[in-house]
């Protein structure tokens, strides 16, 4: 009887993980430039108000978060997000490698754009929302990419 219960539990867990994966948007849904607004996790928190860029990872389902500030990327960047493996909440992305851990939960706004409230293990809290104006074009040009609005 115990073996049957364990087998049934394993089936539920596997099917639950598959269902969460089916509901997860394609990485291209998140691709773009985002405004990042919040506070840092420093001992004396500083305000964060900058631009970041999200691109799919070359392999598997994942996202890379880049800084739009010109020049070299800060230490620990790009930050790589993967779906949270625990599966308790299907819309959590986690970045556990690098100088700190970061979690973002994603939602849709009324125009079907992603909104990502995020928190780090060091206390930083910020929200990412997409920008589609000239700031996006400037960030993409700095990264050597063409804006989708340019011909």
Structure confidence by residue, pLDDT tens digits, 41-76: 999 999 999 999 999 999 989 999 999 986 666 777
Distance from the Cα of residue 11 to its chain's centroid: 29
Distances (CA, A) of 149 to 28, 33, 47, 125, 138: 17, 13, 30, 31, 12
pLDDT of residue 88 exceeding 80, the answer is no
pTM for the full predicted model: 0.78
Domain 26-142 falls under CATH 2.40.128: yes
Helix (H, G, I), strand (E, B) or coil at 20: helix
pLDDT of residue 100: 74
CA distance 67 to 28: 18
Closest CA relative to residue 40, chosen from 106, 123, 128, 103: 123
Handedness of CA 124, 100, 21, 55 (dihedral sign): positive
């Amino acid at each position: 009887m115990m073996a049957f219960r364990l087998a049934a539990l394993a089936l539920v867990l596997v099917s639950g993980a598959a269902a969460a994966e089916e509901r997860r948007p394609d990485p291209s849904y998140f691709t773009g430039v985002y405004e990042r607004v919040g506070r840092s996790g420093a001992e004396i928190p500083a305000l964060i108000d900058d631009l970041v860029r999200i691109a799919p990872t070359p392999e598997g389902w994942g996202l890379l978060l880049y800084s739009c500030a010109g020049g070299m990327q800060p230490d620990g960047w790009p930050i790589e997000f993967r779906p949270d493996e625990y599966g308790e909440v299907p819309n959590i992305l986690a970045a556990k490698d690098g100088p700190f851990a970061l979690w973002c939960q994603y939602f849709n706004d009324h125009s079907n754009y992603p909104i990502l409230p995020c928190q780090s293990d060091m206390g930083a809290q910020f929200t990412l929302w997409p920008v589609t104006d000239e700031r996006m074009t400037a960030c993409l040009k700095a990264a050597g990419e063409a804006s989708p609005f340019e011909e």
